[in-house]
Amino acid sequence: MKKRTLAEALIASHSRGAVDVGAICPVKVDFAFANDITAAPAINAFRDMGAEKVFDRNRCAILPDHFTPNKDIAAAEQAKVARLFAREQEMLYWEVGRVGVEHAFLPEKGYILPGELVFGADSHTCTGGALGAFSTGVGSTDLAAIWALGESWLLVPPTVRVLFSGRRSPWITGKDLVLVLLGRTGTQGARYKAFQFEGEALADLPMDDRFTISNMAVEGGAKAGLFVPDERTLAYAKARATRPFSALYPDDGASYDKTVEIDVASLEPQVAFPHSPANVRPVSAASEVAVDQVFIGSCTNGRLRDMALAARILKGRQIKEGVRCIVIPASYEVWTESLKRGYLATFAEAGAVVSAPTCGPCLGGHMGILAEGERCLATSNRNFVGRMGHPGSELYLAGPLVAAATAVTGVITDPREILSESELKEVEDDAF
C-alpha cells in the first residue's frame, strides 16, 4: 500500500480512486464558509448557477468579520446581503456580538475538526490545519458550487515536511517559529504544496500558537499547513466538537517533496520587515526602528494566549507617548475571557484602545488605518505595500511579546528587555 503524507491521507479519505501527487481528485466537503466580503459574490454565483438550497445548512456558514461592525453604508449593504441569504437558507450565521474573526471563531466553536476537509472563501482558511484538517482557501465562485453540491476538487499537493527541533525558549511563540520558516523558504517556497509541521519543539506548543503557524502557511505559498494530531489536538477538539470526527495521520515512510529542519534552541524573537512576511530578521536587528502604531490582534495573534502575553508586558506600564496601541481580541470568547481575567483593564489602563472582534486594520479595512509615512508593528500576517493603509506607510510583523514591548518603548523592542523570565513564566504556567 502507498505510504501517504497527512495531506494525501486527508484527501484520500474524502475522495474516490487513487490519490497521487499531481492528480485532480473529486472530494466530499465537511464544512464550507464565507465572510461578509466574500459571501456576496458567492451568493450571486449560487443564484446564477440555478442552485436553490445549500447541501447542508449545518455545514455551510457565513461569518461577518471583515468590515464589521459595519464601517460604512457599503459595508452595511454587503452584510445585509449575507444576512438575508443565511436566513433564507437557514444556514449557520452569527451576528456581531456573537461571532468573531472567522479563523479564530470556527475552531473554538468546533466547526473545524481533525480529519476533515474544509473550504473557506478566504486565504487564511489554512488556519484549521492546526487541528489536522485539510483546511484551505478558495474563490467565491468555487465556494458557491460547494455550497450547492457539498463537493469540489483538489489537485493533490506535494508536501514539505517541517521539523522543529530543540528546546523552545518561553520567549519564542508560534509567530516566531513561522517567521523563521518563511525567512528560510520565502513566499513561494511552498507554492501549491502542503506544509506538514512536526518535531520535538512543538510537543508543548499551545494550540493558540499552533493556529498562528498554520495561519501563515499561505504566506509561504502553501495550500495547507498541517499539524499531525497529538493528545493536545484531540483534547481541544473533543471539548468543542459539534459533530463526530476521526483524526488521520501520515504513514511512516511517506515520500516528501523536501524536509526543512529548524533548530529553535538558540532563536531570539523574530520580526518581518517591509514589505514581505519572508523579510525576516531577529529582533536585535530592529532595535532602531521607531513606530507610530502597534496592533495586537487578527486571525494570526488575537487569541487568548496572545492577549495574556501582551497583558503581562503591559501590566503596570504605559504606552509610549505619541504611540497608538490597538488591541482587538479575535472572538467574543477571547474578549469575554480577557475581560474576566483583567486583560482588557490592563490594556485600557496602559493607554491602549480595545475594540470589538473584527479583522479591522489587518486588511486596511478600518479601526487603525495608517497615513503616509507612518510605521506600524502588527501581530497580523501580511505586510505588503499598502496592506494597512497608505502605500507610503510601513508595516512590520511580530508576535504579541514583541508588539507589547514595542508599544511601551516606541521602538521595536526585545521583550526580554521589559520582562524577566520568571514574570513571563506566570503566563506560561496558565492553561491555554
Write down the pLDDT at residue 430.
58
DSSP code per residue over 38-94: THHHHHHHHHHTT--S-S-TTSEEEE--SSTTT-SHHHHHHHHHHHHHHHHHT-EE-
Kindly give the confidence (pLDDT) of every residue in the chain, 432 residues in length, as a single tens digit, with 9 standing for 90 and above. 789 999 999 999 999 877 999 999 999 999 999 999 999 999 999 999 999 999 999 999 999 999 999 999 999 999 999 999 999 999 999 999 999 999 999 999 999 999 999 999 999 999 999 999 999 999 999 999 999 999 999 999 999 999 999 999 999 999 999 999 999 999 999 999 999 999 999 999 999 999 999 999 999 999 999 999 999 999 999 999 999 999 999 999 999 999 999 999 999 999 999 999 999 999 999 999 999 999 999 999 999 999 999 999 999 999 999 999 999 999 999 999 999 999 999 999 999 999 999 999 999 999 999 999 999 999 999 999 999 999 999 999 999 999 999 999 999 999 999 998 888 988 865 556
Rounded-to-integer distance, Cα 400 and Cα 176, Å: 10
Write down the pLDDT at residue 431.
53
Q: Kind and range of the H or E element at 226?
A: strand 224-227
DSSP code per residue over 404-427: HHHHHHSB---GGGTS-HHHHHHH
Q: Copy the grid coordinates of residue 333.
A: 470568547
Rounded-to-integer distance, Cα 314 and Cα 57, Å: 43
- Measure Cα distances from 368 to 301, 326, 365, 378 in Å: 16, 7, 8, 11
Instruction: Quickly count: other Cβ atoms within 10 Å of residue 401's Cβ.
Output: 30
Q: Copy the grid coordinates of residue 275.
A: 514589505
CB 161 within 8 A of CB 196: yes
Q: Which amino acid is at 429?
A: D
DSSP code per residue over 357-387: S--GGGGT-SSSPBPTT-EEEESSS---TTT
CB 96 within 8 A of CB 297: no
Q: Per the CATH hierarchy, to which homologous superfamily does domain 272-428 belong?
A: Aconitase, domain 3 (3.30.499.10)
Question: Model-level pTM greater than 0.95?
Answer: yes
Rounded-to-integer distance, Cα 41 and Cα 126, Å: 21
Rounded-to-integer distance, Cα 253 and Cα 72, Å: 54
Architecture of the domain spanning 6-241+257-262: 2-Layer Sandwich (3.30)
Domain with CATH 3.30.499.10 in the chain: 6-241+257-262, 272-428
Rounded-to-integer distance, Cα 186 and Cα 306, Å: 25
